[in-house]
Structure 1
Amino acid sequence: MTDDIIAEAKRVVAAYLERSMAKDADGARGYMAPGCEIVFTGGRRMDGPEDPPAFNAKRYASVQKRPLRTDAVWNDEAGAVHVWTIGHLYGSWPDGAAFDGNRYVDFFAVQDGLIVRTEVWNDSAEILLARAGLAEAPL
């Protein structure tokens, strides 16, 4: 039974990410539990699936995810499946310069077939600092 629950959680996350990257907030919302916690890069708390694309519009001219791996495990304590997607962001910065290979990790907690929490991390802040001459470029 746990294998089926894990497979379903991975399917929910993949569908949510597809809708999210298509900027379809209503479609993405269908995979989220009411009151779903969204914590974005820098610890920014967001209210709904329309907020991450709005934030990204200020940071990128365009951005997409290239998932490389998805891992999932049942967490007894949380009563949820914990899902991680790992990959690279690609697209262009506001000045039109293309980028690729920007690492990301997305975490999801899926309970009863719906996402109850998501957290996002990526290298964008480090890359933007390096582009501004304020830090060394990431490896």
Structure 2
Amino acid sequence: MPVVRVTLIEGYPAETRRLLGERLTAAVRGTMAAPLEGITVAIEEVRPDNYMRGGTSRVPGAPSPDPQALVRGFLEAMEARDLDRASEYLAEGFVMTFPGGVSFSRPEELAAWAKGRYRFVRKTYEGFDTALGVEGATVFCFGTLSGEWPDGTAFSGVRFIDRFEVEAGKLTRQMVWNDLAETLHG
């Protein structure tokens, strides 16, 4: 059974070590047919005064923000229409693309476009999936939409999926797919 040993400089938070263990386990499981209970990840720590690289003592780097938490924070801010807070999650050059190929770069643009389409929309999440890469992560969230059309008629159970690209702790791209048009015209 696979055993993965990792040595970190002492000082990383428990949450960072937990995430590293889960992600290494997932990487092993996705690479070989090892049973989950057979995969061991051992995280060892070395004190900064007992570690040198290039003749220089080192300190731990900052943990990367959890990409899924960034996506959740952005979506919560958008749902609350806290557009200033939502903007804090976005990288320079951020682009969001909605059904029909409509694209925006700022939350204010989306809010203005959506005004004539619905009064409000809420998301109920069925799940989040994160794929980690060398330069960042891709986060998918999916579930159903509910809300009100401009005339006050309620809608619910509308399928959606959002795909986010995350780099350096910021959202760089969002792609949205949903069945709102089918619900309106169906």
On whether the aligned pair clears a TM of 0.5, the verdict is yes
Find runs of 4+ consecutive structure 1 residues off by over 6 angstroms: none
Deviation at 1:125, TM superposition (A): 1.0
Alignment check: 8 A CA contact 1:104 1:123 kept: yes
- Structure 2: runs of 5 or more not aligned: 1-19, 24-62
Question: Residue 92 of structure 2 aligns with which residue?
Answer: 34
Determine helix, strand or coil for the equivalent of 1:116: strand
Determine helix, strand or coil for the equivalent of 2:106: coil
Determine helix, strand or coil for the equivalent of 2:66: helix
Q: Does 1:47 align with 2:105?
A: yes
Q: Does 1:95 align with 2:151?
A: yes
Deviation at 1:68, TM superposition (A): 1.3
Moved more, 53-62 or 24-33: 53-62
Distance 2:126 2:179 in 1: 16
Distance 1:40 1:54 in 2: 14
Q: Percent identity over the alignment?
A: 35
What RMSD in Å do the two structures reach over aligned CA positions? Answer: 1.7
Q: Does 1:73 align with 2:131?
A: yes
Q: Does 1:24 align with 2:82?
A: yes
TM-score, with structure 2 as normaliser = 0.64
Which has the higher relative contact order, 1 or 2, with Cα contacts under 8 A spaced 6 or more apart? 1
Distance 1:39 1:128 in 2: 20
In our comparison, the structure showing a higher alpha carbon Rg is 2
